[in-house]
Structure 1
Amino acid sequence: MHIGRSALSATLAFALAACGGGGSPPPTSGGPTPTPTPPTASCSLSEQQDFADAVLDEWYLFPSLLDNSVNRAAFNNLQDYLDARVAPARAQDRDRGFTYATSIAEENALINSGSSAGFGIRLAYDINNDRVFLLEAFENAPGFAAGMDRGTELLAIGTTSSNLTTISSLMASGGPQAVINALGPSDAGVTRVIRFAQAGGAVIEQSISKTDFSLDPISDRYGALVLDDGGKKVGYINLRTFIVSDASNQLRDAFGQFRAEGVTELIIDFRYNGGGLVSVADTFGDLMGRNRVGQVWSETVLRASKASENSTELFQNEANALQPTKIAFIGRRGTASASELVINSMIPYVAPANIALIGEDTFGKPVGQFGFDLDACDLRLRAVTFQTNNADGQGEYYSGLASVMPNTCSAADDIFTPFGDPGEASIATALDFLRGQSCTAISGGAGQTAQSVGGRELMRPARPTAAQFEIPGLF
């Protein structure tokens, strides 16, 4: 059994367990191997439950919020059993789907190379009108190649052109899960005929096959840009996920570009980022930590019985690091875990008047998971095991970051305008803040079990793949 530190990624689209895992041991491994080691002779549900009980009883961050009266015989799969055991923590918004079982092989492939199978699109549905839209498309995946991109609306899905079912019919018959079922399993080779309307209005019908593709954490189109704001250079970075380990190197390249152009003000776009590897979040912090090497970036706090495993992460030297004078973070309910860690950890290091959350309140996930592996079963248990605090000891933002940010500005998510465009609603509001203009504050709210983005809710299967856990809305 192996253990590794990582922050989920909620993406969840429901509380997505936002964490990203690690390898075996994960790249961000830390802490001793938990004991006792459960049996691994076979993969019966009973033995998986033994494994889960050993992990939760020794490592779960909220031991008093475990239900120890659960009847194991009442369950026919491990995830439902886990949900029952952590139900008291969920009732207090401490574990909204953050403890879950996944595949070691799938998660390692995702972390190491961004490997996933699907159309390579991120979907959300209109809560009020039962319409389904693309929030973004990954450039090296079949959806983008077929003409789908941000703002595309799905109109109908079928296995052939002769049995297309409209989205409105699917939503009426079974809600978003009916649409998810119509899209088929996340396996390479699965083919669907999809009728869709591009943002410009053109309607296209295409037969599209799911393929294996690599998730690019920073888009080559709009992921890292230097915006000219009336002669002032503003660095814009859109990080899609923390779960792919190469995100650290891509961040270094982006900040190298910013530094070369003399950027001191940043717009950091985390609006759908459900989190991922804590190691990537740490690198992100280091790249904003010029002249802060050795100061506290974040604190990792475990349950009282594991206090000896608590740790403090310090800013490390990065050649391309900046010391930003102003930062506008774009976030929404899909922003969770490692994304929130970065935002929260920067609060002590930017003048209160010069840092803001733009968009809407974030998801509210100040906790992270270790990965516990039962190798013989290809089972990785992601269990909530630690909370992260910033240098001021602040880590209580279970209802979202709006309540702890010095400034917030409400802004819409304009899915019909490309990322990186200064005219896009959230980016425009971020630029206004950096100019010193006033804005309407975000109304904070209690943490939610579903991740929503401005009237649209990120779609998530009942049983998500490792990639769908980490990248909310991915299909």
Structure 2
Amino acid sequence: MKIEQPAIDIRMGRIGRTVLSATLALSLAACGGGGGSSNTATGGGGSQSTAQCAISNQIAFADDVLDEWYLFPNLLDNTVNANNFTTVQDFLNARVAPARAQSRDKGFTFATSIAEENALISSGSSAGFGIRLSYDTANDRVFLLETFESAPGFAAGMDRGTELLAIGTDAGNLQSIASLMATGGPQAVIDALGPSNAGVARVIRFAQVDGTIIEANVTKTDFSLDPISDRYGALIIDDGGKNVGYLNLRTFIISDAADQLRDAFQLFNANGVTELIIDFRYNGGGLVSVSEVFGDLLGQGRVGQLWSRTILRDSKSSENSNEFFENEANALQATKIAFITTGNSASASELVINSMLPYLNADSVALVGANTSGKPVGQFGFDFDACDLRIRAVTFQTVNADEQGDYFTGLAGTVPNTCRATDDISNALGDADEASVSTALDFLAGRSCTAISGKTDDTLAQRERELQAMRPEQPSAAQFEIPGLF
């Protein structure tokens, strides 16, 4: 994507031509790139580094970031006393509480590890079982939404639709999921699974979709997250003799997703695809740069036209930028697109949908499944290198070529057509018989469907009926970006 003026490298923790104000520059650290810069604090030795990383100093750094860069300065609580907090995240939560109360910042401002996030972005590196978990609070049950093929969960026999039955550190102390959920809810299950560290082992009893019960000793390992599955990430679905392209993008956070998207669109072009199903149902967002490549691949014939605008707070308006469609060798111009979404679809996935709306006829685009999360804002990363601390603060909003971008309650009220569908975990992703895919095919074929309401009250009730992605109280860098990952 071409940018109208030099601007901040969105989401990569780097401030391009801008330096922080004197307040931040004189603080413990300025904000540099992923690998640091000349004005980024670099920890000294022993006691100096320990003193520098005192929690009060880390909180002071976070406070300065919010004061200078936060997108909604009038929605910061300026009465918060930093001395009352022992963690950076608790301090951030308190400072942005007014924005959260207005659904402007639903956990989008957070503290994370520079090293962990950089490893995730560069190679998809994570540690765990490599499974996405969801829970059904009405029945105290836990199911897998998805597994990552290179991870130990998949090797043990877990896959989409698997139900967890019991967890223990050994076969002699297994605790049933029902008892864990009854006594402590989803967090009790998360605690039983142990920390997200390589080498952590658990005995897990689970039931596969066909009813087969397996009890396995599974050890968490370091593995690479593949943004587009080799099994079902990019498929050609034969719908009555018509080739429909199916694309499931798990996350935008891994930089390699851009090249994998190019490969998927090469497949679609080779098969004469003009209609697409784009499955964002578990996509929590990630790199805006990857979303721009996605837009380019959908932009045949639109090179040079406006894709999106990035807007910062008034005091940083010099950093506002326009992004335009660029040429991509495998770009296509789809005649119809069905976007599959759930309440877990957020950020960059919503940006792609919203940015495409001005270029699609009202009868050629639909939202299928459930309403999206509602995150038309994004974060820059501010690094305190000495302490491996990155503050991801909400700093910008994106709007499309029609200046639309206020979908804080989700996109169901914005997209011209919506079709309600369940997330059918009994069938594989990409399967034409899976409920959301089947409904998407119905829309593409011109068949009728039941609409998703964009009203806030209905949206909340609807989400309560969905399987909810599990999230720990203190998520890792990967868990912030990839809903339900363990």
Common fold by TM > 0.5: yes
Cα 1:453–1:267 change in 2 (3 A) is farther
Distance 1:171 1:198, change over 3 A: same
Structure-to-structure mapping, 1:71-220, within 5 angstroms: 71-220=81-230
2:12 corresponds, among 10, 18, 22, to 22
Q: Which has the larger radius of gyration?
A: 2
- For residues 148 and 291 of structure 1, the distance between their equivalents in structure 2, rounded to whole angstroms, comes to 43
Q: Is 1:308 aligned to 2:318, yes or no?
A: yes
Alpha-carbon shift at residue 33 of structure 1 (Å): 2.5
1:471–1:106: structure 2 CA closer, same or farther, 3 Å change rule? same
Kept in 1: contact 2:303–2:327 (CA 8 A): yes
SS at match of 1:353: coil
1:464 corresponds in structure 2 to 475
Aligned-partner Cα distance in 1 for 2:203–2:146: 19
- Secondary structure of the 2:68 match is helix
Q: Does 47-56 or 355-364 show the bigger shift?
A: 47-56
RMSD: 1.6
**2:34 alignment partner in structure 1:** none
Preserved contact between residue 31 and residue 309 of structure 1 (Cα < 8 Å): no
| SS at 1:237 equivalent | strand
Q: 1:415 to 1:244 in 2, by over 3 A?
A: same
Map Cα deviations across residues 357-390 of structure 1 (whole Å, 9 max, x no partner): 0001100000000000000010000000000001
Matches within 5 A, 1:369-448: 369-446=379-456
Shift of 1:158: 0.1
Q: Is the 8 A contact 1:270 1:331 kept in 2?
A: yes
1:39 to 11, 28, 31: 28
Change (3 A) 1:138 1:452: farther
Aligned-pair CA distance for 1:455: 2.3
Name the TM-score, length of structure 2 as normaliser: 0.91
CA distance in 1, matches of 2:464, 2:95: 30
> Separation in 2 of the partners of 1:148 and 1:444?
35
Contact 1:127 1:455 in 2 (8 A): no
- Could you tell which deviates more after superposition, 265-274 or 43-52? 43-52
CA positional deviation for 1:39? 1.4
Q: Say whether the 8 Å CA contact 1:400–1:445 is kept in structure 2.
A: no
Unmatched tracts of structure 2, length 5 or more: 1-6, 30-48
Show structure 1 runs of 5+ residues with no match. Answer: 7-20
Report the alpha carbon displacement of residue 444 of structure 1 after superposing the two structures with TM.
2.2
State the partner residue of 2:67.
57
Pick from 253, 263, 268 the counterpart of residue 243 of structure 1. 253
| Corresponding pairs, count | 455
Give the Å deviation of 1:452: 5.2
SS of 1:196's partner is: strand
In structure 2, relative to structure 1, the CA distance for the partners of 1:206 and 1:173 (3 Å cut) is: same
Q: Which amino acid aligns with 1:413?
A: D
Residues in 2 aligned to 1:275 and 1:136: alpha-carbon distance in whole angstroms: 17
Using the TM superposition, give the Cα deviation of residue 449 of structure 1 relative to its aligned residue in structure 2, in angstroms: 9.8
- The structure, 1 or 2, with the larger RCO (C-alpha pairs under 8 Å, 6+ apart) is 1
Q: Which aligned segments of 4 or more residues in structure 1 are displaced greater than 4 angstroms?
A: 447-454
C-alpha distance in 1, partners of 2:66/2:109? 10
Number of the residue aligned with 2:4: none
1:450 is displaced (CA, Å) by 12
The aligned residue for residue 328 of structure 2 is: 318
State the alpha-carbon separation in 2 of the partners of residues 289 and 421 from structure 1.
27
**Contact 1:96–1:449 (8 Å) recurs in 2:** no
- Once residues 30 and 281 of structure 1 are traced to their aligned partners in structure 2, the CA distance between those partners, rounded to angstroms, is 19
Q: Secondary structure at the match of 1:155?
A: strand
Which SS does the other structure have where 1:271 is aligned? coil
